[in-house]
Amino acid sequence: MNRFVTIVAAGLMISGTAHAQGVTEEMLANDAATPGDILTNGMGRDLQRYSPLDMLNKDNVANLVPAYAFSLGGEKQRGQETQPLIYDGVMYLTGSYSRMYAIDAITGKELWQYDARLPEGILPCCDVVNRGGAIWNDKIIFGTLDARLVALDLKTGDVVWRDEIADYKAGYSYTAAPIIVDGLVITGNSGGEFGIVGEVQARKADTGELVWTRPVIEGHMGTLNGEDSTMTGELNATWPGDMWKTGGGATWLGGSYDADTDTIVMGTGNPAPWNSHLRNAGTPVEGNTGDNLYAASRLGLDPATGEIKWHFQSTPREGWDYDGVNEVVAFTDPEGNKKFGTADRNGFFYVLNREDGSFVDAFPFVKDISWAEGIDDTGRPIFVEANRPGDPSEAADGNKGEIVFSSPSFLGGKNWQPMAHSPKTGLFYVPSNEWGMDIWNEPISYKKGAAYLGSGFTIKPNYEDHIGSLKAIDPVTGEWKWEFKNDAPLWGGVMATAGGLVFTGTPEGEFIAFDDETGEKLWSFQTGSGIVGQPVTWEADGEQYVTVISGWGGAVPLWGGEVAKKVNYLNQGGLLWTFKLPKQLAAAE
């Protein structure tokens, strides 16, 4: 049921008056440099998750205190992965089961709530999470678990427009925060475990009118203004037979935007099914590489037309569920070279050229990669074929291929949880996990709306003393400057600030501020439930605030095997915590 609470208008602004024109392209473009509001996922469309604020710093972070806690309420206490947005004194956050809340950013008072009224039969893969919205003009736009996109009035929460991304009955869903560029709202889709086809779509953010679509699996036709545009890739160049028709490649984690090259960068998920031998990927045949483009890739797209400018495939011939969706972050190295950084599920950190997406460098960011010996000079993995799950058709009973141990696990050296980059230190702060899996292949055939894996697996910790590992990594040398080890997997986002701080949370509920140069723990707060959300920081009336949501859930307790047993005592929750550095304590040490 939808529930709306009237806004008490006048006194709710952080400072000044409301922007009469609403949120504009110029405001989105400058989001990273305007710490009085947060208008985009990633605190800027380059996804650096870096704040120029330094009122809160290494010397005074010990004085950070709670300002308020806001409860998401009800029985819907599942994984809370949202990143809040802040505009004109109001904070907007999403909750599990496709809910949106507007609260007073200073006091935490609820202003309105929207519930998407989900139908029976939704098929979410990895918990009923939502990672946030996007603000445009006088609307906030977010996606729902039944694969719809909803635009709400910022002031009232009333529905302005609603549109279907895809058919939820076929396994599609949507959990990411959209991105807006030049008045177009850009979305992907979820559902890679159901034989869906990954696609990027662009709509007019004011009206919801569909402008273009770009499927990401070769052989599928894109559209522009309601007409066929161009085919993605070349039919059957890297896929056998009709496998491309249900080829996976879900674009389930939202994209970034590089203004310097006017390029949207989207990641694509695993090819379907997981059993790579069915896709010609186990032993490629003559005339077909078996790479299964453009799954497990990063794509550079023209935001006006959806045409593919470039692609980089991180895991060709993918057979371990190493999605390529992880965020692509624009940065500039110490010599002024403009690059992208991305930490892949497969355990390698890639550096790409920002002009054309071409390969620059790669290095491990986890310790025990077993599926590949390394990355060659072209960016292609050097496979360890003995560590590819076996072909069940070659097994004596034909039901189960050879079991292999692979590291990292299918949940990845890093999964969706966003890293941060500090231009001040030049480092990336990467939330990673040290785990592996026993994995095997099984026969499978496609059935609409049914799981389409063709694999079985059991996740195992690689070390007794930790799974989670927050690492500070130099993207030029690949050196790990420091590491923070955590008993449970890390599943929440990271933020860096000009005050020399790095923030993240743990499944055990601890919200922590680290020294960005040394990794020393400078401050922490127990939130009462596991943190799998994304922290932000902002300024109001001369005081710096930090906000994070707490609420354990996500994929780990659902898919984690032996790891899930390690964390099954953790309590679910649903509290948004906001902290502040009071003016009188800002100068105190």
- As annotated, the binding site includes 81, 131, 175, 193, 270, 321, 415-416
Using left for φ > 0, alpha for ψ between -120 and 50, and beta otherwise, residue 313 falls in: beta
Determine the Cα–Cα distance for residues 92 and 255; give it in Å rounded to an integer: 20
How far is the CA of 235 from the CAs of 238, 240, 245, 483, in angstroms? 8, 9, 10, 45
Residue 490 has pLDDT above 80, yes or no: yes
Determine the Cα–Cα distance for residues 43 and 433; give it in Å rounded to an integer: 24
Which of 331, 557, 360, 293 lies closest to 429 in space, CA to CA? 331
The secondary structure of 206-230 as a DSSP string is TT--EEEEEE-STTPEEEETTEEEE
Which of 49, 80, 64 lies closest to 550 in space, CA to CA? 80
Looking only at the bridges linking them, the beta strands covering 495-497 and 50-51 are parallel
Helix (H, G, I), strand (E, B) or coil at 279: helix
The secondary structure of 466-529 as a DSSP string is -SEEEEEE-TTT--EEEEEEESSPP-S--EEETTSEEEEE-TTSEEEEEETTT--EEEEEE-SS
Q: What is the pLDDT of residue 314?
A: 98
Helix (H, G, I), strand (E, B) or coil at 142: strand
Instruction: Read off the DSSP letter of residue 575.
Output: E
Element (H, E) at 420: strand 420-421
Please say whether the dihedral angle defined by the alpha carbons of residues 226, 230, 232 and 235, taken in this order, is positive or negative: positive
Q: What is the pLDDT of residue 260?
A: 97
Q: What is the pLDDT of residue 566?
A: 80
**Residue 564: how many CB atoms within 10 A of its CB?**
15
Instruction: Read off the DSSP letter of residue 317.
Output: T
Q: What is the pLDDT of residue 3?
A: 43
Residue 332 has pLDDT above 50, yes or no: yes
Q: Give residue 586's pLDDT band: very low, low, confident or very high (50, 70, 90).
A: confident
Least confident of 135-144, 408-417, 433-442, 566-575: 566-575
- Do residues 251 and 241 make contact, with C-beta atoms less than 8 angstroms apart? no
Using left for φ > 0, alpha for ψ between -120 and 50, and beta otherwise, residue 165 falls in: alpha
User: Over the stretch 511-549, which tens digit does the pLDDT of each residue have?
Assistant: 999 999 999 999 999 999 999 999 999 999 999 999 999
Cβ neighbourhood burial of 586 (10 Å; 0-12, 13-18, 19+): middle
* Radius of gyration of the chain measured on its C-alpha atoms: 22
Which of 176, 196, 171, 205 lies closest to 188 in space, CA to CA? 176
pLDDT, mean of residues 354-364? 98
Tokens read off for 388: 């590819």
Phi, psi angles (nearest 5°) of residue 279: -105, 20
Q: What is the pLDDT of residue 565?
A: 79
What does the chain come to in residues?
A: 589
Which of 43, 72, 3 lies closest to 550 in space, CA to CA? 72
Q: Give residue 75's pLDDT band: very low, low, confident or very high (50, 70, 90).
A: low
Residue 14 has pLDDT above 50, yes or no: no
- Residues 6 or more apart whose CB falls under 8 angstroms from that of 196 comprise 166, 170, 171, 172, 189, 246, 248, 250, 272
Q: Amino acid identity, residue 110?
A: E
How far is the CA of 515 from the CAs of 64, 461, 470, in angstroms? 15, 27, 12
Which of 68, 318, 28, 287 lies closest to 182 in space, CA to CA? 28
Q: What is the pLDDT of residue 563?
A: 87
Determine the Cα–Cα distance for residues 405 and 230; give it in Å rounded to an integer: 41
Q: What is the pLDDT of residue 540?
A: 96
Helix (H, G, I), strand (E, B) or coil at 49: coil
pLDDT, mean of residues 105-120? 96
Q: Calculate the CA dihedral of residues 387, 389, 391, 394 and round it to 10 degrees.
A: 60
Please give the angle made by the CA atoms of 392, 397 and 400, to the nearest 5 degrees: 35
User: Over the stretch 186-224, which tens digit does the pLDDT of each residue have?
Assistant: 999 999 899 999 999 999 999 999 999 999 999 999 999
Helix (H, G, I), strand (E, B) or coil at 162: strand
Q: What is the pLDDT of residue 588?
A: 59
Pick the CATH number of 10-585 from 2.30.130.10, 2.140.10.10, 3.90.180.10, 3.40.50.720: 2.140.10.10
Q: What is the pLDDT of residue 396?
A: 80
Residue 19 has pLDDT above 70, yes or no: no
Q: Which strands sit side by side in the sheet containing 536-540, from one edge to the other?
A: 65-71, 575-581, 543-550, 536-540
- Residues 6 or more apart whose CB falls under 8 angstroms from that of 75 comprise none
Share of the chain above pLDDT 70, in %: 96
Residue 6 has pLDDT above 50, yes or no: no
Least confident of 273-287, 369-383, 392-406: 273-287
494 alpha-carbon distance from chain centroid = 12
**Residue 588: how many CB atoms within 10 A of its CB?**
11
Phi, psi angles (nearest 5°) of residue 194: -120, 15
Could you list the active site residues? 321
Strand partners, 137: 23
Q: Give residue 476's pLDDT band: very low, low, confident or very high (50, 70, 90).
A: very high
Residue 558 has pLDDT above 90, yes or no: no
Share of the chain above pLDDT 90, in %: 87
How far is the CA of 283 from the CAs of 94, 176, 245, 301, 321, in angstroms? 44, 34, 20, 31, 18
- As annotated, the binding site for pyrroloquinoline quinone includes 81, 131, 175, 415-416
User: Over the stretch 377-429, which tens digit does the pLDDT of each residue have?
Assistant: 999 999 999 999 999 988 888 789 999 999 999 999 999 999 999 999 999 99
Determine the Cα–Cα distance for residues 528 and 571; give it in Å rounded to an integer: 8
